[in-house]
Amino acid sequence: MDKLNTFIRLFEIPPAIQPYVSVFAEEIEIDLIIAMNGAPMGADEVANVLGMSVDDAVELLERSYRRHVVHREVDGKKVGYIFDYQDVDGKTLRYIPARFYDRLDELAMYGDWDQIPETVREEIADWWLKDYAEKIAPVVENIKNDPDAYQQIKQKDFLLLEQALEQVEKATFHAVVNCDCRASTEGCSRMLEACIRLDDGGRYTVDRGLGRQVTKEECKQIVLRTDREGLMHIGTLQAEGTELFGFCNCCTCCCFPVRSAELLNSDRVYPRVHFAAEKIEEKCSHCGICIKRCQYKAFFRDESRTVTVKKRERKAVVLDTSRCYGCGLCRTACPEGCIEMKPLT
């Protein structure tokens, strides 16, 4: 029990999931985290402490890296996040103990998340959202103070479909990965393999054993499919001199960037809104597809107003632009082409 308690403390495991350590941590990984005791170690040090060969220690550490139990340290630089990709050839490689927050990605997306009781999963997902919001809060404050300044943060901006596809076109490395928000929250049945990683963001993702590399054309088709399924493209607009790293395809019921806006009082600032929908009345057939597509209820039927379209009477579809977040999902599905996205000034 002392060993388990030590691991729980070092790995910073929330109380709700402590009874299920065996689901997400192997005995050898527990021994590894305790041996590291918060400090970086190389394969030779791990081999000595755990009484194994250096080759076995390398295998353990690399597997633990892919399971997000440890991070790499390459020439003294931590590699533990999407922005941190480093080629390891010819460089000094050590490992840094991770924490449960880091382990959740692999666990929810590809691990045995379903072996944990539903009530516990819900509690941990709520804890994860709050921890996520606290983690990004300082950067979000910078965005509030200067919205136009570049900030290295994922999901900073609502992107139109063409902006998302433009990033795919520019990139030379493409990967797709399961959505950790949707996998953990389980708030809807939309497609799970939906997050796009590009260039070093993609290399980092695949290197950590998450997702899979795809061709540029495959990547475009995945993005188009996410749009058809009603997922909003949220990433970071590329600033001059900065690198691409990818974007997510989000929903209001699951995805942390959207849901954290309420916790951070950052509505429309993070993620930032750049466009607003405009409906061309004379083209509109009032079919109501836009009502189904809009996750913010910007479109609705006016029960007091009836229109006649092709000899059929319908309740008029109305757009409330104050509810629009500029994601463009209404436009890409409109059969009449009556919706345009206008830049905000």
In the prediction, which pLDDT does 279 show? 96
In the prediction, which pLDDT does 80 show? 76
Question: 208: Cβ–Cβ under 8 A, 6 or more apart, which residues?
Answer: 65, 66, 68, 106
Low-confidence ranges of the chain (pLDDT < 50): none
Q: Model confidence over 303-320: pLDDT tens digits?
A: 999 998 888 899 999 999
Transcribe 180-216 into DSSP letters: HHHHHH----S-SEEEEEETHHHHHHHHTT-SEEE-H
Q: Both ends of the chain: CA-CA distance in Å? A: 60
pTM of full prediction above 0.85: yes
Domain boundaries along the sequence of the chain: 2-98, 117-264, 275-343
- Asked if residues 16 and 122 have their Cβ atoms less than 8 Å apart, the reply is no
In the prediction, which pLDDT does 159 show? 97
- The CATH code for residues 275-343 is 3.30.70.20
In the prediction, which pLDDT does 1 show? 66
Q: d(Cα 58, Cα 56) in Å, to the nearest integer? A: 5
**Which ranges of the chain does DSSP label H, i.e. alpha helix?**
2-10, 21-24, 27-36, 43-50, 54-66, 100-110, 118-145, 161-170, 180-185, 200-207, 216-228, 256-264, 289-293, 329-333
In the prediction, which pLDDT does 153 show? 86
Q: d(Cα 175, Cα 216) in Å, to the nearest integer? A: 9
In the prediction, which pLDDT does 226 show? 98
Q: Which fold has domain 2-98?
A: Arc Repressor Mutant, subunit A (1.10.10)
In the prediction, which pLDDT does 298 show? 98
In the prediction, which pLDDT does 65 show? 95
Which pair of tokens denotes residue 337?
């082409």
- Nearest Cα to 205, choosing from 246, 155, 261? 246
